[in-house]
Chains A and B, each alone.
Chain A
Amino acid sequence: MPKLSRQEVEYVARLARLGLSDDEIELLRDQLSAILEYASVINQLDTDDVEPMTNVLPLRNVMRGDQTAPGLTLAEALLQNAPDVQDDQFRVRAILE
């Protein structure tokens, strides 16, 4: 398996909102490539006739009835955790639509 390119690492970092230094990019190129290399062993298997598995547990149809229960108070939800609050809402830097 060819080593990941710098661009691929930068792209994944951008999706994950990670700011990486040049050194970190190089380090992660090696580490991520090694992980993919390791996982690629599975590609050797012929899985043409195998149904894709989406969950390892033998569970199906785990559902709850449509009933409500009290959640968190505003203080618990917001004030204890949010770094920035205004008018009972989480405040973030402006998002432009």
Chain B
Amino acid sequence: MKADLRYDPVIGLEVHVELNTTSKMFCACRADVFGAPPNTYVCPVCLGMPGTLPVINAQAVRFTVMTGLALHCQIQTHSVFARKNYFYPDLPKGYQISQYELPLCTDGWLEVETSAGVRRVGIVRVHLEEDTGKLIHVGEHSLVDLNRAGVPLMEIVTRPDMHSAEEAYALVTHLRQIVRYLGVSSGDMEKGAMRCEVNLSLRPQGSQELGTKVEIKNLNSFRSVRNAIAYEIERQTRLLEAGTQITQVTMGWDETAEVTRPQRSKEEAHDYRYFPEPDLPPLALESAWVERVRQELPELPYAKRARFVAEYGLSEYDATVLVEDRAVADYFEDVVRCAQPSVHAKLVANWVSGEFFRMMRETGTPIHEVRIRPDDLARLIALVANNTLNQTAAKQVFGVMWQTGRAPEVIVQELDLGQISDREQLAALVTRVLAENAEAVASFRAGKATALRFLIGQVMKATRGRANPQLVEMLLREQLGEEQ
């Protein structure tokens, strides 16, 4: 497109992540509010009743520091909560406790991978705040549910370092992967556990000056993030090419119509009058504690992938697929650890990303509900590797294991599926099949190679697929040769 050559999009993101602590940010109400009946997870603190005092949830601080460390941030030894003042019915106190001048984490970065290669995106800050309640609009009225008010919310602000919808998409998906690896959030955008706002401007290519910034909100899925940015780049490009000025505005993404529309802003003035929260003493995190948290960080996706390639000889692609989900990666490693030395990790990778993933997808089973134990899967793969089972029979056994969680050897015996590799038994069978299929034998002799496939098929059929196909082929060739 000609347009893309003339304007360079500059994109920054603000990502809100709901932390999956047990209790809320400043009170002991339950924090797993999704789907709970309205206004049942509330107390005087999160309802903002007079005379109450907030107390910081230590786990939320730890989760935020973990995230900051994973994003290569500086962890601030002096950190302060602040009041952000505005009126809105989903905010019972009339202010949100957030962080302003002294956030927990600053100046980090995160690498993202796109078709254009690997790029580093700067992280301005990661801070901690409380979520607001939820509003439902019904006709003349709005209904307020305050269950979500006070749930710990982590805000991650990137530098305007991204230049395409693809890059922004890669960043949010990688961020989700990281918060899931850390176990600090479900990262579920559809359930609102992760929310994203985009700041976007266009500037003439080669120019260093930033264009007018447009904010995009109401992005409820990863797809929306990508589509809304692509749409907004196109819209602004059209305007600029027509010589129209871009106005600074907040746009909302309409997911059904797939367009952005100007939004009315919450507080016309955006004058939040931040000031230090007098009810909360500052945080002074000890560097020894921060170091301990750093030591306890789990291995993160890119590091795990690199290790899988180096340690198990997997391809970059196989490793990427396996580390997508930390629990799946752990499962894969458990199988490898249980497997006999003769079972190559590559075989395990094929099983996990093949049959295993297919069954997970088809039955909608999350990894923690899979009934097959890693050591059972390791032994099933060994049964194939040592020719006790052929591939077709192994898949059948796998299916039963998936349903019942039983050991592969038991199933093999019950279904009478063990591969026949007994030379004499098969040789007798081959002789019989040759005698019964004179026509095929003749056409093989006449040079028709496909006739051999047919004859192998006949032997397999006679054994209900249990014959060792390599051995059958060898015996067939032997006997056909002998007769010549």
Tally B residues with Cβ within 8 Å of A.
56
Binds B, one of A26-34, A37-45, A85-93: A85-93
Q: Which among B80, B142, B283 is the interface contact of A92 at CB below 8 angstroms? A: B142
Chain A residues contacting B57 (CB-CB under 8 Å) are: 63-64, 66
Q: Say whether B273 contacts A86, CB under 8 Å.
A: no
Which range holds the interface residue count of chain A? 35 or more
Give the docked Cα–Cα distance between A78 and B285 (Å): 38
CB distance from B483 to the nearest CB of A (A): 79
Chain B residues contacting A69 (CB-CB under 8 Å) are: 23, 28
Interface check B56, CB cutoff 8 A = yes
Interface check A59, CB cutoff 8 A = yes
Residue in A closest to B286 when the chains form the complex, CB atoms? A61
1/0 per residue, CB under 8 A from B, across A40-75: the answer is: 000000000000001101011111111111011010
Interface check B30, CB cutoff 8 A = yes
Interface check A94, CB cutoff 8 A = yes
1/0 per residue, CB under 8 A from A, across B1-33: the answer is: 000000000000000000001110001111000
Interface check B399, CB cutoff 8 A = no
Interface check A95, CB cutoff 8 A = yes
Chain B residues contacting A15 (CB-CB under 8 Å) are: 85, 269, 271, 273
Chain A residues contacting B146 (CB-CB under 8 Å) are: 77, 90
Q: Mind listing 27 A-B residue pairs with CB under 8 Å?
A: A14-B269, A54-B282, A55-B80, A55-B278, A61-B284, A61-B285, A62-B55, A63-B57, A64-B58, A66-B21, A66-B59, A67-B23, A68-B22, A68-B30, A69-B28, A71-B27, A72-B43, A74-B37, A74-B39, A87-B38, A89-B39, A90-B143, A90-B144, A94-B137, A94-B142, A97-B252, A97-B264
CB distance from A94 to the nearest CB of B (A): 5
Chain A residues contacting B313 (CB-CB under 8 Å) are: none
Q: Which among A17, A60, A71, A86 is the interface contact of B283 at CB below 8 angstroms? A: A60
Q: Say whether A86 contacts B143, CB under 8 Å.
A: yes
Give the docked Cα–Cα distance between A18 and B321 (Å): 58
Interface check A96, CB cutoff 8 A = yes
The 8 closest A-B pairs by CB, nearest first: A71-B43, A66-B59, A59-B281, A69-B28, A54-B276, A89-B143, A90-B144, A63-B58
Give the docked Cα–Cα distance between A68 and B24 (Å): 8
Within 8 A of A (CB), among B120-172: 135-146
CB distance from B278 to the nearest CB of A (A): 7
Chain B residues contacting A89 (CB-CB under 8 Å) are: 38-39, 136, 143-145
Chain A residues contacting B285 (CB-CB under 8 Å) are: 61
Chain B residues contacting A64 (CB-CB under 8 Å) are: 28, 55-58
Q: Say whether A72 contacts B141, CB under 8 Å.
A: no
Q: Say whether B39 contacts A67, CB under 8 Å.
A: no
Give the docked Cα–Cα distance between A79 and B138 (Å): 20
Give the docked Cα–Cα distance between A17 and B268 (Å): 13
Q: Say whether B281 contacts A95, CB under 8 Å.
A: no
CB distance from A59 to the nearest CB of B (A): 4
Residue in B closest to A63 when the chains form the complex, CB atoms? B58
Q: Say whether A61 contacts B23, CB under 8 Å.
A: no
Q: Say whether A94 contacts B37, CB under 8 Å.
A: no
1/0 per residue, CB under 8 A from A, across B258-292: the answer is: 00000110000101010010101111110000000
Give the docked Cα–Cα distance between A68 and B145 (Å): 19
Give the docked Cα–Cα distance between A72 and B92 (Å): 15
Chain B residues contacting A65 (CB-CB under 8 Å) are: 58-59
CB distance from A15 to the nearest CB of B (A): 6
1/0 per residue, CB under 8 A from A, across B355-366: the answer is: 000000000000
Chain A residues contacting B283 (CB-CB under 8 Å) are: 60-61
Q: Say whether B143 contacts A71, CB under 8 Å.
A: no
Q: Say whether A92 contacts B144, CB under 8 Å.
A: yes
CB distance from A88 to the nearest CB of B (A): 5
